[in-house]
Every structure is written in structure tokens, then in C-alpha cells.
Amino acid sequence: MVGSALVRRLAVEGCEILTRPRDLLDLQDVVATHRYLADVRPDAVLLAAAKVGGIGANAAQPATFLSHNLAIQHAVITGAFQAGVEKLLFLGSSCIYPKHATQPLREDALMAGPLEPTNEAYAIAKIAGIKLCQAYRSQYGTDYVSVMPCNLYGPCDTFDLETAHVLPALMRKAHEAKRNALDVLTVWGTGTPRREFLHVNDAADALVHVLKTYSEAQPINVGAGHDVTVSELAELICDVVGYAGRIIYDHTRPDGTARKLLSCDRLRALGWRPRIALRDGLDSTYQWFQEQYDDHAY
């Protein structure tokens, strides 16, 4: 999702974009990844590839989330260095911050307390990636930067009911509930956690802005600036989809962290602001989803 948004955004930048589909290059394969980077010798690397998923996938597969992400980061970051890449952008996630950190979450809250258990494995991998970028900067003076986005959504997201993030999962549930004339739509947890959602096109624009204007060891947050509760999101999605049934809450499913609103002072100081309002982003994402749905190609 993020990679394809970056390709769309970079198309207007007059640069040559090098991509490699997964069936041609497995980024967990350190030898193949090093060979590829040495071959193409890019000026900059944007590392958006990762094993990602929603709260269900993270909690069920901690070994996969930890090992795959460590492997991808290791192969790409060490390979970039060996290929002489000066500029690298590493993508983390707002879940790297401590579960009980002061809101909004500032970049200096990193490692100031225990993590949220449902995504600890993923967060540890991402923290290791930040530290690796900082270590290269400190030891070799390379300009490797880490960016921490909030929860992203948009075209090319995963809409699998068990493994997806909340926004695409609820969009698909509402769509199917409407289609099948179901009376109820089930939302996991209590509906009270708050989440901050940024459209992936805005995220890609912010990443390119950071690539051009930011060069520090500390990570930089990328967020929308405000959050909503899971129940507010569910109601908004039902409205966008046109589903008028009842929303019920499954308390056997985890809530995860109560809130993870990012402080974006640092990004705002660089002159960047989001453009896509949540309602508009949901409308266009639902349109995209419907176009894929009948082919089951999402």
C-alpha cells in the first residue's frame, strides 16, 4: 500500500524509480538483496516493505512479525550501505512508543517505557530498524532517517477480516453486511480505543517531503493531527458504505493500546500538512475497494 503510493507520488518528481516485485526479489534474502542494490546503486532508498497487519495478526504471529521485519531491515539497510547509498528513509510505526507514554506522542518518548503487548514483536523489530539507521549515521555519517507514521489506509490495503487493520476490516464487514442484509455488524473490543488515520497518499507526500527536508538521527512522526474512537470510525464507515444496521461489540477481542496520537510538531515545522480529510479518504477508499471486490483481488 505505501510502496505503490510512493511510486504514484514520485512520478511527478522527475526521478528514476526502481522497484522490484516480491516474486523477483525476496527482501529477506540478504545475498539477493545485497546483489540487487549493488547492481542498481540507487541515490536513495525508501524502505516501505514490511510484514504488517492488524491487532489480530500481530498478536497471533509474533515470531513472524519479529523475524520477517528484522530480516528485511537487515538486508536492505546493510545492503544500501554497502552499495554506497547516502540517503535512506526507514518506515516504522506509531506502535514503537510506550503504551502509557504522554499524548500526543513525541519522538523523544521512544524507549521510555514498556510497549503494548499485542504488537510488541513488531514494535521491537521497528525499534531495531531505527537503531540501525542511527548507528550507521553515527559510525559512518550516512543520512539514514526514520519516519513513524500513524495508522495508514487507502488503496491497495489488505481487507482480510482476521489479519487486516481496523479500517479496512470494518469497511469490508459493513460492505458484506449491507450486501447480505445482515442486522448486525460486529466490532472487536470495546470501541473506546482512539486511533489516528492518515490516507496513504498524504503519507507518501509527507515521506517525500521528509526525504527532501529532514536529516536528523531522531525519528520524525507523520500523522493526521487528530484521532477518533473505534466506534466513531465504525459509524463513519457504515455511513460511507450505506449500512444502517446495528453495531455490536465483541469484548473477547483485544482493544490494544488506548490511544496513540502522534505529535507532529517536528513535521509541521518542516512545512508539511495533511490534505485528505478522513471522510473523503474513506469515500475514495470504499470506491477502490468496490472496484476490486467482485474480482476478489483485494
Rule CB under 6 A: which residues touch ligand GFB? 54-56, 58, 93, 95, 118-119, 122, 151, 164-166, 169-170, 187-189, 193, 195, 230, 253-256
d(CA 213, CA 203): 15
Q: In terms of CB distance, is 78 or 103 closer to ligand GFB?
A: 103
SS3 283: helix
Residue 2 sits at the vertex; the CA angle it makes with 280 and 197, to the nearest 5 degrees, is 40
Considering the complex, state which of residue 53 and residue 79 has its C-beta at the smaller distance from ligand GFB: 53
Cell numbers found for residue 252: 473477547
User: In angstroms, what is the minimal distance from the CB of 297 to ligand GFB?
Assistant: 21
Judge whether 77 and 136 are in contact, CB under 8 Å.
yes
Nearer to ligand GFB, 187 or 264 (CB): 187
Quick one: which of 152, 153, 205, 214 has its CA closest to 12?
205
Locate 105 and state its grid cell: 506522542
Q: How far is CA 237 from CA 122, 178, 241, 242, 281, in A?
A: 27, 12, 6, 8, 11
CA distance linking residue 231 with residue 148, whole number of Å: 25
122 is catalytic: yes
Least distance from ligand GFB to the Cβ atom of residue 238, Å: 12
Q: In this chain, which residue has its C-beta nearest to ligand GFB? A: 54
Q: Please, what is the minimum distance in Å from the beta carbon of residue 17 to ligand GFB?
A: 25
193 vs 281 by CB, closer to ligand GFB = 193
Task: Show Cβ contacts of residue 72 under 8 Å, excluding neighbours closer than 6 positions.
Answer: 27, 28, 47, 49, 50, 51
Closest CA to 237 of 283, 276, 292: 283
The CB-of-30 to ligand GFB minimum distance in angstroms stands at 24
The SS3 call for residue 289 is: helix
Annotated catalytic residue within 36, 122, 214, 298 = 122
Minimum CB distance to ligand GFB smaller for 99 or for 137: 99
Least spacing, CB of residue 1 vs ligand GFB, in Å: 11
Indicate which residues carry an active-site annotation: 122
